[in-house]
């Protein structure tokens, strides 16, 4: 049991420390980092004393602590899904903007090259 706690603790530390090292270009906002730190500390607390999860589940009228953990996982997965959808939409709009700017620049340079060729003739 102690080895499992150590292994899960190390896995949790590795996962969350890699999330906190995300650069600003990925636009992880400050409140998301605070949420991630809160989840990290909570997971370390649950790993160190699993009976705490059962006590919290009893307070919320949930039969088992594992069910509470599953409900929290569903909630966090839904949050991640929505956040990923928002990021994909932002990237798509940025890509559309760059594509339209490139099309405008390309048409201007093509017109300028044609004008230069006509002047040479």
Q: Give me the pLDDT at residue 95, please.
A: 93
Q: What is the mean pLDDT of the chain?
A: 77
> Does 16 score more than 80 pLDDT?
no
Q: Which helix (H) or strand (E) holds 52?
A: helix 51-59
Radius of gyration (Cα) for the chain, nearest Å?
Answer: 26
More confident site: 117 or 82 = 82
- Cα–Cα dist 74/69, whole Å: 9
Q: Which of 36, 27, 26, 18 is nearest to 79 (CA)?
A: 36
Q: Give me the pLDDT at residue 55, please.
A: 86
More confident site: 70 or 12 = 70
Query: What confidence tens digit (pLDDT) does each residue in 55-85 have?
Result: 888 887 888 888 888 887 887 788 778 778 8
- Cα–Cα dist 19/40, whole Å: 11
């Amino acid at each position: 049991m102690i080895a499992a706690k150590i292994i899960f603790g190390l896995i949790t530390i590795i996962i969350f420390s890699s999330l906190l090292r995300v650069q600003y270009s990925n636009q992880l906002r400050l409140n998301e980092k605070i949420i991630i730190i809160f989840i990290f500390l909570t997971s370390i607390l649950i790993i160190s004393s699993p009976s705490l999860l059962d006590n919290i589940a009893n307070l919320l009228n949930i039969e088992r602590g594992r069910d509470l953990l599953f409900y929290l996982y569903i909630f966090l997965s839904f949050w991640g899904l929505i956040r990923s959808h928002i990021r994909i939409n932002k990237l798509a709009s940025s890509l559309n903007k760059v594509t339209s700017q490139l099309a405008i620049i390309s048409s201007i340079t093509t017109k300028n090259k044609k004008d230069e060729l006509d002047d040479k003739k």
